[in-house]
Structures are given as structure tokens and as C-alpha cells.
Structure 1
Amino acid sequence: MKKLLLPIVLLFVATSAFAQRKSDLIAEIDDLKSKMAEVEQELAKAKREISSSSAKAEALEVENVGLRDANATLLGNLSNFSELSKQNSNNVNRAMEALARKEKQLSGINDMISANDSTAIVSLTRIKQTLGENANVSVAEGTIVISSSLSNLFGSDTSSELTETGKEWLTNVSKVIKSNPNFKTEVEGLNITGEFGPTYDQVATVSKELVGTLGVPGESIIISAKDGNFKEGVNIKLQPNYKAFYAKAKESAKAAQ
């Protein structure tokens, strides 16, 4: 019995020791599994963070490419704007230069017009001194108009023979014409009947007296007959030489370019 008891005790002890060792191993395995689960969780978290970081990096790269493209476009637009601004500035400068030339041309023409007007006004004063303060003289658009009635010149509205008073008046008018050689002279007859034959005879008589008797240059005189619109008489018109005026204006315009 004693011989059997010892092996039984040893077997019990061995069994107990084995059971304890197995329990410890199971506990250690459980602990390792727990740690492995934690490691796997950390690994999964790290993978997610890496994936998120990679996505952010790709997004930043795309955004960076977009920013580079936008920056290149902006620089191109700025360059184009600078070139366009330079062109506009050049265009404005050319326009201002052209405007300055036009103003200079207009200034020269205005000065010539003012000179003509001033000449007409000065001539008007001298004409009144020659013909007398009661003379019928006016200025219209730079043209000096000296008027006389048919009765004063011819004694009636149908006659074409000058009276002594008419001859005396034309003598003074000839002095005015000769003292203003830069003016063209028009002898204008006005009637209210519409019959221009007698009127042409009258202005022809006046022109003949001025040229043939009083020595006025014939090339500077023209004659005309018009409807007087309820007025009749003879007008001696002294007007600027527009052909010479425009020739001079053209020269002034060319000089200003």
C-alpha cells in the first residue's frame, strides 16, 4: 500500500503542476492575444492615418498644381495687361498729339477769321468816314454791304441812267473799293417785280461807271440781280477773297501738322 501511495502522490503532484502550468500558459496566451489585438488596432489606426495623410498629400499636390497654374495664368494676364496698358498709353499719346495739331490748325484758321472780321470792322469805320456817317453801310458774315436806293442812283426804279447824286455816290464807293484791294466787289441789284432785265441794266450801268469812269479794276467786280423780297435798290458788297483765304487756311493746316 505504501508502495502505491508514493506513485499516486507523485502523479498527483505532477498532475497538479501540469494543470498549473497549463493554466499559466492559457493566461499568457490570452494576454498575448490581447496585446496582439491592441497591436492590430494600433496598426489599423496607423494605416488609416497613413491613408488619410496620403489623401491629404495628394489633395495638396493637386491644389499646389492648381495654384501654380493659376499663378502662371495671373502672371500671363499681368503681362498682357501691362502690354495693353502700354499700347493704350501710346494710343492716348498719339490721340493727344493729333488733337494738339488739330487745335493748332483750328487756332490758325480762327485767327484768320478773326483777322478778316477785324478787317471788316476797321474797313466799316473807314467807309463811313469816306461816305459820311449817314451812309447805309453794314457788315454781315464778314461782308461789307453799301446800299443805295434806285431813286438816289437813277431817279426812278425803271431808269438805268445815273443821276449826278448817283455818280457822286459811286465816286466815293470807288475810293472804298480801291482802298480795299483784298476784297471782291459784287454789284447786286434787287427788285420786287420779278422782271430782272431792267435790274441787270441798272447794275451794268453801275459796274460800267465804276470800271470805265472811276478806274476800279474790272476783274474784281461781278454783277447779279436778285429778288429783293419786298426790297429794291443796289448793294455794293465787299467780301473777302475766299479762294485766297482757303488757300492760306490750307497752308496753315499743313504747317501745323
Structure 2
Amino acid sequence: MKRNLPLILLLVIATSAFSQRKSELFAEIDTLKTKISKVEQELAKAKREISSSSAEAEALRAENVSLRDANATLLGNLSNFSELSKQNSENVNKAMAALSRKEKQLSGINDMISANDSTAIVSLTQIKQTLGENAKVGVEGGIIIISNSLNTLFGSDTSAELTEEGKTWLGGVADVIKANPNFKAEIEGLNITGEFGPTYNQVASVASTLVSTLEVPADGISISAKDGNFREGINIKLQPDYKGFYAKAKESAKAAQ
């Protein structure tokens, strides 16, 4: 028994030491597990942060691409706007130049119209001086109208032979026509019966006397007959030479271009 005691003590000590070592190993394992868990948590956190950073980087990259595209589009629009502005400016300048030419054309035509109106007013005064203050003379639409009755001119509403009073009046009219060569004369007969044969004979008689006897140029005279609407008589209409007027207006328009 005494011989086995040291062996037993040694075994007890060894067992005790092994038990202590085992406890230390378990404790160390627990510590390592804790550290491993902590490391795994930190790793998972790092992965999340990396994933978030990657997503942000991708978002920034996409935003940067979008900004570059938007910037390129803006620069293109600015270039187009600049070109459009230039074209608009050129169009405005062209329109203003065209408007200026039109104003000159209209100004020239207005001047000619005013000149015709002024001539008509001056001629009206001269006509009254030639035919007398009691002469039936008026201006309508720029046309001077000299009127007389059928009884005064022909003695009746059917005769085509001029009376002496009619001849005298017509002589004054001839002086007026020859004093205004820029006017065209229209002899207009007014009829209230609807029978225009006698009316044509009357205006033809007036025209014949003016041309053959009173030496008024034939190319400046025309004749017409129409319903007088309850009025009858002879009108001598003196109007501007519209053909010549439009020719001058056309030349004025060309000169203003």
C-alpha cells in the first residue's frame, strides 16, 4: 500500500492537472468562439458597408453619366438656340427691310392719290369759273361730274339735236376737258323710261359735237347710257387716267424695291 501511494498521488495530481487543463482549454475555446463571432459580425458589417458603398458608387456613376448627357444636351440646345436666334435676327432684318420698301411704295402711291385729289379740287374751282357759279358740278370718289338737263341741252327728253344754250354749255365743257388733258371724259346718259335708244343718240350727239366741232381729242372720250333711277340728264364725268396712274404706281413700286 505504501508502495502504491506515490503512484496514486501522481495519478491524482495528473488527473487534477488534466482536469484543470481541460477547463482552461474549454475556456479558451469559448473565448475563441466569442472572438470568432465578433469577427464574423464585424465581417458582416464590413460586407454591408462595402455593399452600400458599391451601391452609392454605382448610383454616383450613373448620376455622373446622366449629368454628362444632360450637359451635352444643354450645350447642343444652346448651340441650336444661338443659331435660331441668329436666323430670327436675320429674318427680322429682312422683314424690316421689306416693310421699309412697302412703306416707300405706299408713300409714293399715296402721294399720287393725293395729287389726283388735289388736282380734282383745283379743277373743280376752275370749272366753276369757266361754266359759272350756277353750274352743276361736284366731286364723287375723285371723279368730277358736270351735269345738265335734257331740256336745256336738247329742248326735250327725246330730241338728240343740241339747243343753242346746250351748244354754249358744251363749249365751256370742251374748254374744261382741253385744259385738263390728264383727265378722261365719259359722257353718261341717264334714262328713266328704260328705252336707251334715244339716250344713246343724245350722248353720241354730245360726243360728236365735242370731237368734230369743239376739237376735243377723241381718244379721251367714252360714252355710256344707264338707268337714272328716277333721274334723267347728261353727266360729263372727268376722271384721272387710271391706266397711266397704275403705270406710274408700278414704276414707283419698282423704284422703291
3-state SS of paired residue (1:215): coil
Alignment of 1:165-180 (within 5 A): 165-180=165-180
**d(CA) in 1 for partners of 2:92, 2:207:** 57
* 1:28-72 deviation per Cα after TM superposition (whole angstroms, max 9, x unaligned): 121112111111111111112111211221122122212222222
Offset of residue 25 of structure 1: 2.1
Question: What's 1:76 paired with?
Answer: 76
- One-letter amino acid matched to 1:113: I
> Do residues 121 (structure 1) and 137 (structure 2) align?
no
Alignment of 1:1-257 (within 5 A): 1-257=1-257
TM-score by length of 1: 0.93
**d(CA) in 1 for partners of 2:159, 2:13:** 179
Stretches of structure 2 that go unaligned for 5 or more consecutive residues are none
**d(CA) in 2 for partners of 1:75, 1:111:** 53
Offset of residue 16 of structure 1: 1.8
Offset of residue 94 of structure 1: 2.0
Moved more, 34-43 or 14-23: 14-23
3-state SS of paired residue (1:3): coil
**d(CA) in 2 for partners of 1:242, 1:205:** 26
- One-letter amino acid matched to 1:231: R
* 1:179-232 deviation per Cα after TM superposition (whole angstroms, max 9, x unaligned): 111001111222222222222222222222222222222221222222222211
Stretches of structure 1 that go unaligned for 5 or more consecutive residues are none
3-state SS of paired residue (2:4): helix
Offset of residue 144 of structure 1: 0.5
**d(CA) in 1 for partners of 2:91, 2:16:** 110
* 1:121-180 deviation per Cα after TM superposition (whole angstroms, max 9, x unaligned): 111111112111111001111110000101111111122222221121112111111111
Identity of aligned residues (%): 77
**d(CA) in 1 for partners of 2:12, 2:25:** 20
**d(CA) in 1 for partners of 2:61, 2:209:** 106
Moved over 4 A (4+): none
Output the aligned Cα RMSD.
1.7
How many residue pairs end up in the alignment?
257
3-state SS of paired residue (1:147): strand
**d(CA) in 2 for partners of 1:36, 1:218:** 131
- One-letter amino acid matched to 1:80: N
